[in-house]
Amino acid sequence: MFVTKDRKLSTGSLIILIASTLLGVGILTGPRSITAAVDGFGGWIAVLLTGLLFILIAYAAAYLINMFPGENIILFGPAIVTKPINNTICFLYLLYFIISTALYSRNVADVMKLYVLDTTPTTVIIGSFLLVSTYTAVQGINVLIRLNMLLFPIIFGMLGIILVLNAGGEFNFTEARPFFVGDFLTYLNGMKSSLDIFIGIGIIYFLSVFLRTPEKTGYALSTGIIIVTLINMIIIVISLGVFNFASVQNIVYPTVELAKDIQLPGAFLERTESLFMTIWVLAIFNVVSVTQYTVSLGISQLFNRKRKLWVVWPLPIYFLIALAPRNIDEFFYWRSILSYVGFSFLLAIPLVYILIAKIRKVA
Amino acid sequence: MRACLYKTGIPCLIAVLLLSGCWDLQEIEERGLVIGLALDLTDEEVDPENMETYEEWKKKGEPDRVRLTGQVAVPTQQGGNGQSETESQPYFNMSTVSHSVFDALRLFSTRSSRTFTLDHIKLVAVSDNIAASDHFNEGLLDFFLRDHQMRRRMLFFVTEGEASQLLELEGQFNEIPAMKIEAVSENYSRSNRIPHPFAIGTLSDEIAKETSFIIRKIKVTKDKDIKVAGALLFDGKFSKLAGELGEQETIAYNLIVGEHQNGIITAPDKQGHIAAFEIFSADSKIKPTIKRDNISFDIHISATGHLGETQYPGGNPLTSKYIKEVEEVMKKEIETEVNKVTEKLQKEFKLDPFNLLDEIRVKNYKMYEKVRRNWDQGEKIFSDVPIRFHIDTKIERIGISGKPEQKEG
């Protein structure tokens, strides 16, 4: 059985890990999909509400994790819902992680090909990206945390620069208003589209073995979620003001266009989007390597195999899934389906497990 | 030794193989930097070989084709280090005809040794007959908004007549025409007779939003120079050319929407002498009033500036009384101009380029949802909305001549 003695994830590093895992995901398409979902304004409220919802979920997950400090779902699950059921759930959840990770790498390839690497084949971009992230994931949790802490300020800073320069430049306050519009139904619609920003926090069910201070998990998760919520809210409002409510819905990657729009006097900084793309790839790289690691950890625990090898073996699966969507429309369809699947896991696991644990008086 | 070779040498070789190749490599000398594009409708034949496809297109009811003229900067010749014997232009133009803009652009490659890069396009111009045709709305501009190399900041112009003339200017300084136009259009802060620069990104925003908008008008004069003045009015619903505003009307428009930067307003004073008021800073505040179903607007315009010229015979009575008088005259002048253009837009064109609808949206979203489809389209609520102007003018300086009335001491 898999047991770890050293608990390496401190509260601070968990915050960074969660924030940088969530940051890269919805950032490019969020303004478009969420604005389209709420049909204009109030997208930021939808994101805020989703953030609050996920803070609740995070606390539920933390409660479950706290019942069994130092273990993760694969270790404490069998005590609650018998081993076969638990292993099936975990396996399906890991499968979900594999598919979503593969789609992130596809996203990288699509965006890079569109904006920067015009003639490089998609397969090469996906392949090299996955090779690098696999290399990192093999190294283990310590390296991942180190890397996340290293890259997070860069990603955060770049986003900050883009937002500040846009807010000071093209941003038109009238276009961004009114702020409070819409009823609960429209917000609900917007929340559906903003789910995929946050569903990455599911990794905590597996990574909880490493927590140094399990009692602070809820706090750490919600801090990470708050950071990401704020950034996404600001991006939505700024892209509304720079474009307008109708135009944002027509731009596939509004955030990249925000980066492209920056022009400092004297042509001092041109082609900012290549800089932005590079840094965004770093953000997705964080996401992909962390989830790859989580998958390998889960598989090694489930089947009692060597973890390092199981980072590498699923590589062809990632690669093939990444190439599966025929076009960008299909890709977005897959992503939206996956966001519901991920959300169901995220919501169901703490509810069901805590309930059954209470009834059966485990722990 | 051998182990060392295996451990470092082989990975190095692999790295060399992997890292050296770059799919997207392009030498700068082989690039052609496209800096301006002009789009015209044309009936020219494509190519004799392509005649069949043209006939097929004609059968589909698609007889019009586009002519794309591109201006390409030549980087190596621009530096001009001692190569004085080749006094050639730092740019060349090429023009192709096709059904789609993208295809026309790619046809450039069939006529030049260079690979064309679109990253540095400064301006896109279309002829007024494209702007007035349905093609404008149907998406002749789609390519400029879809291609990833295009920047949203490229300036967009609608020219009177052929757009390609714009790239064939002969300026005073042997400038590249596209660069020159960009520089001229930056002068808008010195003249109130042209609207603010209009980028292609703004165009896509306006088309998406279905609001009416205004684009500056650009004209190529007979001696192959340009004049930028006045504005073209576009219908929001169909996003096509609906009319134009004269220079005076553009001044008024600029004042109303608060885009007025710097400019001169000339009017006779009470004795009939010409006075010129230079506006340094103008500001406008649009306040919608919504009572039940009645919408009205109060627009407060404040203009501050200095008295630049008074053609007053025999000395300048620049007293504070006279300054007040001129302020009053200028206020009247602005008021009439502003009312005139509003009247014209409300009654004649029935289009709202002021984006007053935005103000309603900010103030009362429910009302906005009610009127948005019938604002300057459909029932045209806009044309009957009362718009009141409140104008405030202030002359802060009078220049260096003239004697103030108040005796010192």
Q: Which of B116, B179, B205 to mutate against chain A (most A CBs within 10 Å)?
A: B205
* pLDDT(B82) > 60: no
For the ranges A153-157, A169-173, B27-31, B245-249, which has the lowest average pLDDT?
B27-31
Domain assignment of residue B85, yes or no = yes
Mutate to test the interface with B, among A247, A262, A263, A278 (most CBs of B within 10 A): A247
Cβ distance A19 to A152 under 8 Å? yes
Looking at the fold, whether B191 and B333 belong to one and the same domain comes out as no
Q: How far apart are CA B125 and CA B154, in angstroms?
A: 10
Ranking A206-215, B137-146, B388-397 by mean pLDDT, the lowest is B137-146
Of B214, B245, B276, the residue that ends a domain is B245
Contacts of residue B355 in chain A, CB cutoff 8 Å? Answer: 174
What is the C-alpha to C-alpha distance for residues A321 and A118, in angstroms, rounded to an integer?
Answer: 22
Among A118, A246, A261, whose Cβ lies nearest the Cβ of B209?
Answer: A246
Distant-in-sequence, close-in-space partners of B359: CB < 8 Å, separation ≥ 6: A174, B286, B287, B288, B297
Could you report the per-residue pLDDT of A175-223, keeping only the tens digit for each?
888 888 778 888 888 888 888 889 888 899 998 888 888 888 899 999 9
**Mean pLDDT calculated for residue range B245-270:** 81
pLDDT of residue A78: 85
Burial letters A226-239, b for 16+ CB under 10 A, else e:
bbbbebbbbbbbbb
If DSSP codes are grouped into helix, strand and coil, which group holds residue B340?
helix
Among A114-118, A275-279, B21-25, B60-64, the range scoring the smallest mean pLDDT is: B60-64
Give me the amino acid identity at A347.
L
CA distance B154 to B162: 19
Mark out chain A residues that contact chain B at CB-CB < 8 A.
41, 114-121, 124, 174-175, 177-178, 181, 243-247, 249-250, 257, 260-261, 263, 271
From A258, which residue of chain B is nearest by alpha-carbon distance?
B152
Task: Residue A261: list chain B partners with CB under 8 A.
Answer: 151-153, 201
Residue pair B34/B143 in contact (Cβ under 8 Å)? The answer is: no
Q: Is B206 in the same domain as B283? A: no
Q: Within a domain: residue B226?
A: yes
User: Any idea what the CATH number is for the domain that residue B313 is in?
Assistant: 3.30.300.210
Q: Which residues of A are less than 8 Å from B153 in CB distance? A: 261, 263
Q: ipTM greater than 0.90, yes or no?
A: no
Averaged pLDDT, B384-401: 82
Going by pLDDT thresholds of 50, 70 and 90, the confidence category of residue B174 is low
Is residue B224 located within the same domain as residue B288?
A: no
Q: Where do we find the tokens 């809210």?
A: A233
**Same structural domain for residues B225 and B295?**
no
Chain-chain contact of B205 with A119 (C-beta, under 8 angstroms): no
B150: nearest CA partner in chain A: A260
Do A243 and B201 count as a contact with CB atoms less than 8 A apart? yes
B268 with B240, same domain? no
pLDDT at position B85 over 50:
no
Q: How confident is the prediction for chain B on average, in pLDDT?
A: 76
What's the pLDDT score for residue A74? 87
Contacting A with CB below 8 Å, chain B residues are 23-24, 119, 148, 151-153, 201, 204-205, 208-210, 355, 358-359, 361-362, 365
Please indicate, yes or no, whether residues B198 and B323 belong to a single structural domain of this protein: no
Q: Is residue B261 part of a domain?
A: yes
Token pair 């644990």: residue? A357
d(CA B385, CA B287): 13
Per-residue pLDDT band at A54 (split at 50, 70, 90):
very high
Domains in chain A (CATH in brackets) are 11-360 (1.20.1740.10)
Identify the domain boundary among B196, B216, B245.
B245
A269-282 mean pLDDT: 81
**Phi, psi (degrees; rounded to nearest 5) at B199:** -90, 160
| B23 part of a folded domain | no
Q: Which residues of B touch A246 (CB under 8 A)?
A: 205, 208-210
User: Is there a contact between B205 and A243 if contact means CB atoms under 8 Å apart?
Assistant: yes
User: Could you tell me if B63 and B210 lie in one domain?
Assistant: yes
- Tell me what the mean pLDDT of segment B200-207 comes to: 81
Whether the CB-CB separation of B89 and B72 falls below 8 Å is answered with: no
Q: Indicate the residue among B222, B245, B268 that finishes a domain.
A: B245
Higher pLDDT residue, A169 or A11?
A11
Q: What is the pLDDT of residue A259?
A: 84
Answer whether B23 sits within 8 Å of A120, measured CB to CB.
yes
Q: How far is B24 from chain A (nearest CA, A)?
A: 6
Choice between B163 and A221, residue whose per-residue pLDDT is larger = A221
C-alpha A283/C-alpha A255 separation (Å) is 14
Residue predicted with more confidence, B181 or A202: A202
A and B: number of Cβ contacts within 8 A: 51
Considering the domain architecture, whether residues B312 and B234 belong to the same structural domain is answered as: no
Residues in A closer than 8 angstroms to B209, CB to CB, are 244-247
Instruction: Calculate the CA dihedral of residues A204, A209, A214, A220 and round it to 10 degrees.
Output: -30
Please, which pLDDT band fits residue B63 given cuts at 50, 70 and 90? low
Is there a contact between A38 and A300 (Cβ–Cβ < 8 Å)?
no
Angle at A357 between CA A351 and CA A360, to 5 degrees: 135
The pLDDT confidence band at residue B225, using thresholds 50, 70 and 90, is confident
A269 or A205, which is more confident? A205
Mark whether B196 and B267 lie in a shared domain. Answer: no
Instruction: With residue A256 as reference, give the H or E element that holds it.
Output: helix A254-261
Q: Vertex A29, ends B118 and A168: CA angle to 5°?
A: 70
Q: Give me the residue from A41, A117, A247 closest to B204, CB to CB.
A: A247
HEC per residue, A100-151: HHHHHHHHHHHHHHHHCCCCCCHHHHHHHHHHHHHHHHHHCHHHHHHHHHHH
Nearest CA to A75 out of A293, A304, A287 is that of: A304
Residue A334 confidence (pLDDT) above 60: yes
Give me the percent of chain A exceeding a pLDDT of 90: 23
Of B101, B93, B121, B112, the C-alpha closest to B35 is B121
Q: Tell me what pLDDT residue B84 has.
A: 45
Position B11 in a domain: no
Q: Would you say residue B114 has pLDDT above 80?
A: no
Residue type for position B165:
Q
Domain count, chain B: 2
Query: Among A29-33, B34-38, B51-55, B296-300, which stretch is predicted with the lowest mean pLDDT?
Result: B51-55
Max intra-chain CA distance, chain A: 70
Task: With CB atoms and an 8 Å threshold, state whether B153 touches A250.
Answer: no
pLDDT at A146 over 70: yes
Asked whether residue B402 is assigned to any structural domain, the reply reads: no
Verify that B224 and B308 share a domain, yes or no: no
Shared domain check, B290 and B182: no
Contacts of A124 in chain B (CB under 8 A): 23
pLDDT at B77: 46
- C-alpha span between A8 and B390 (Å, rounded): 68
Q: Residue B159 domain-assigned?
A: yes
pLDDT tier, A289 (very low <50, low <70, confident <90, very high otherwise): very high
Contact A174 B205 (CB under 8 A): no
Nearest-CA distance B295 → chain A (Å)? 18
> How many Å apart are CA A319 and CA A123, to the nearest integer?
8
pLDDT for res A60: 92
Res A48: pLDDT: 92
- Å between B80 CA and nearest CA of chain A: 22
pLDDT digits (tens, 9 = 90+) for B10-25: 777 777 766 655 666 6
| Residue from the list B151, B208, B359 with its beta carbon closest to the beta carbon of A246 | B208
Model confidence band, residue B136 (pLDDT cutoffs 50, 70, 90): low
Split at pLDDT 50, 70, 90, the class of A308 is confident
Residue A225 amino acid letter: I
* pLDDT score of B53 more than 70: no
The residues, ordered by sequence, that sit 6+ positions from A224 with a Cβ below 8 Å of its Cβ are: A14, A15, A16, A17, A18, A19, A21, A22, A201
Q: Which of B18, B119, B362, B372 to mutate to test the interface with A (most CBs of A within 10 A)?
A: B362
List the single best residue of A128, A243, A257, A276 to mutate versus B (max B Cβ within 10 A): A243
Contact A213, A10 (CB under 8 A): yes
Question: Measured between beta carbons, which residues in chain B are less than 8 angstroms from residue A175?
Answer: 358
Whole-angstrom distance, CA of residue B285 vs CA of residue B161 = 37
Q: Give me the mean pLDDT over the A96-116 stretch.
A: 89
Q: How confident is the model at residue A94 (pLDDT cuts 50, 70, 90)?
A: very high
pLDDT digits (tens, 9 = 90+) for B313-339: 666 666 777 788 888 888 888 888 888
* Among B24, B119, B153, beta carbon nearest to A120: B24
Instruction: Output A299 or B140, whichever has higher pLDDT.
Output: A299
Nearest CA in chain B to A182: B365
State yes or no: pLDDT of A52 exceeds 90: yes
- The verdict on residue B234 lying in a domain is yes
Q: What is the pLDDT of residue B88?
A: 63
What CA–CA distance (Å, rounded) separates A27 from A256?
9
Domain span at B234? 28-245
Model confidence at B304, pLDDT cuts 50, 70, 90, reads confident
Residues B153 and B270 in one domain: no
Q: Which of B23, B119, B205 sits opposite A244 (nearest CB)?
A: B205
pLDDT band at residue B392 under the 50/70/90 scheme: confident
* Distance of alpha carbon B162 from alpha carbon B38, whole angstroms: 9
Residue B48 above 70 pLDDT? no
Residues forming beta bridges with residue B282, ordered by sequence position: B303
User: Above 60 in pLDDT, residue B156?
Assistant: yes
Judge: B201–A261 Cβ closer than 8 Å, yes or no. yes
Give the contacts of A74 (CB within 8 A, at least 6 positions apart): A2, A86, A87, A90, A206, A298, A301, A302
